[in-house]
Amino acid sequence: MKKLTPLALAISLASGAAFAGTENIADVDQNGDGNTATIDQAVSSQDNDAYIEQDGARNESSITQSNTATALATSMQDGEDNTAEITQKTQTAGSSADINTIGNGNAATITQETYNGDALASIEQLGDGSQATIEQNNGDQAISSIYQEGNGNSATIDNYISDFANASIEQTSGNSNTALIDQHNSDGTTAEIRQGLGDANDASIKQNTGSYMYGPEGTFASVDQEGNANIALIEQGNLANVATIEQYGDANMATINQNASDDSEATIVQLDASNTATVTQSGTQQSAFIEQEVEGNSATVTQNDNNNIAEVYQSGTTNTATVDQSNADNYAEVDQDGNENTATIDQTASIAGTASATVNSGNNNTATITQSGLENDAAIVNYGSGANADITQTGESNEAWGGTWGTDTMLTITQTGDNNYAYGDSSSNLSDVDISQLGNENSANVESWWGEQNDIDVVQQGNNLTATVYSNGDFNQVSVNQFESSNQASVNQYGNGNVATITQGQL
């Protein structure tokens, strides 16, 4: 019987299993009571290192390396009742795994199986009762790292086919946080999650391209959260997408879905509490940006087809913004710095550029822009309170600009023809401005200056029509109807209680 060296005897007694091929090194150091360590290095192994050190009591650690090429595995546990497990199987190539736990009751698992490529995985947990899991299956050039400092945190990374994957999770100075990165079929993905200075945050990044192609495959996703009870979700299913979520506050929720898009960008930034933001992108070369700086806001951006741009800025409280772009080459912007405002932009035009801008700076205002025609421009500015402004463009190459300045004002602009221009200004309290352009090449400038409870209606149907209306007093009424071509109408009322009606031509 061959006599065992002191080192081999220590390993055999402590682990119960230690198998080695050529040039393998295994080391176990346990200082506390009731610890268990297992090292298994077997089957065509090459240049392997395995190291376990447990200073506390009742810790468990297991390292298994098979067909491991140049693999290195290290596990260190300082506290008590910790569990660590490293498995590097079948041709692990240049893989390396590291687990470092100092607190109590932590659980960590690293599994790098099959070919593994240049895979590297590292887990460090300094608090108590945390869980961390890394799995890199085929490996390729995957690098994953988990770092947790608080208590009761959970972090999971899954790199399936791996390709060029790079995943990193960092959770610091917080408790009961959850982070998940799933890179599944992988391709050229990169993902990062950072959660610090807060408790009960939840962040998930799911990337699943699976194209198995070469070229511009780079997909990047990042989540950064500070505060409490925030939720962030990013889903990416195709190539060359970039998604970023930043939340600094409490009880915020952000979702970016890029499952059906290519070469698109989406960013959500929420700086206060109880904000909700959602971006959904399909098609190619989409761009969406949402920033909400104060509490209780909600923003939704939906982009289909190609080459759409949407931007939402909300710095007031309890505002709602919705942008829906269902065809190509649209631009939409919403900017609200008041409170309890609602802005909606719906763009369904195809193959031609349209542009919209909505600004609500007062309180309890509503702004709606609907564009189903081609190459339309529209803008609404609400500076008062309780205003309702609506622009609808179903024709082509129209321009519509509207503003409300008083309290409880109404502005409506409808353009169903082509090459029309309309400017509507409902400036004072309880005023109502209505402009309808049914024909082509119409021009209307309608203003309700300073007066209150004015009612102005303009309807134009023919060609080359021009209407200009000014009303400066109170309780004025104006109605202009032009149905045929080459008409002009101008109404100016500066006093109170005036009534003016102009009708030219017939239908």
Whether 439 maps to a domain, the answer reads: no
Rounded to an integer, what distance in angstroms lies between the CA atom of residue 343 and that of residue 333? 10
At CB < 8 A and 24+ separation, what contacts does 315-323 make?
316/340, 316/341, 316/363, 319/343, 319/360, 321/297, 323/347
- H helices of 355-431, in order, are none
Contact yes or no for 352/371 (Cβ under 8 A): no
Whether 330 maps to a domain, the answer reads: no
Whether 13 maps to a domain, the answer reads: yes
Q: Which residues of the chain have pLDDT under 50?
A: 1-20, 214-216
Contact yes or no for 120/134 (Cβ under 8 A): no
Model confidence pLDDT, tens digit, residues 230-249: 999 999 877 778 999 999 99
Give me the pLDDT at residue 457, please: 81
Q: Can you read off the two tokens belonging to residue 39?
A: 């090292």
Give me the pLDDT at residue 4, please: 37
Residue 446 host element (H or E): strand 443-448
Contact yes or no for 133/156 (Cβ under 8 A): yes
Give me the pLDDT at residue 18, please: 39
At 154, give phi and psi (nearest 5°): -135, 130
Q: Vertex 121, ends 117 and 123: CA angle to 5°?
A: 170
Give me the pLDDT at residue 132, please: 97
Residue 333 host element (H or E): strand 330-336
- Structural domains counted in the chain: 1
Contact yes or no for 58/37 (Cβ under 8 A): no
Contacts of 146 (CB under 8 A, 6+ apart): 122, 123, 124, 125, 132, 134, 155, 157, 168, 169
Contact yes or no for 478/491 (Cβ under 8 A): yes
Whether 311 maps to a domain, the answer reads: no
| Amino acid sitting at position 40 | D
Closest CA to 269 of 241, 297, 308: 297
Please state whether beta strands 253-262 and 231-236 pair in parallel, antiparallel, or not at all (unpaired): parallel
Rounded to an integer, what distance in angstroms lies between the CA atom of residue 11 and that of residue 255? 50
Question: What is the model's pTM?
Answer: 0.89
CA quadruple 409, 380, 297, 235: dihedral sign: positive
Whether 97 maps to a domain, the answer reads: yes
Q: Can you read off the two tokens belonging to residue 464?
A: 């080359």
Residue 12 host element (H or E): helix 6-15
Model confidence pLDDT, tens digit, residues 198-232: 999 999 999 876 655 544 466 889 999 999 999 99
- Per-position DSSP letters for 84-99, written without gaps between them: EEEEE-S--TT-EEEE
The range of the structural domain enclosing residue 71 comes to: 1-139
Rounded to an integer, what distance in angstroms lies between the CA atom of residue 164 and that of residue 215? 12
Whether 85 maps to a domain, the answer reads: yes
Give me the pLDDT at residue 487, please: 76
Whether 376 maps to a domain, the answer reads: no
Whether 135 maps to a domain, the answer reads: yes
Give me the pLDDT at residue 7, please: 41
Residue 443 host element (H or E): strand 443-448
Give me the pLDDT at residue 349, please: 78
Q: Vertex 292, ends 289 and 295: CA angle to 5°?
A: 160
Pick left, alpha or beta for residue 361 (phi over 0 → left; psi -120 to 50 → alpha; otherwise beta).
alpha
Contact yes or no for 248/218 (Cβ under 8 A): no
Contacts of 13 (CB under 8 A, 6+ apart): none
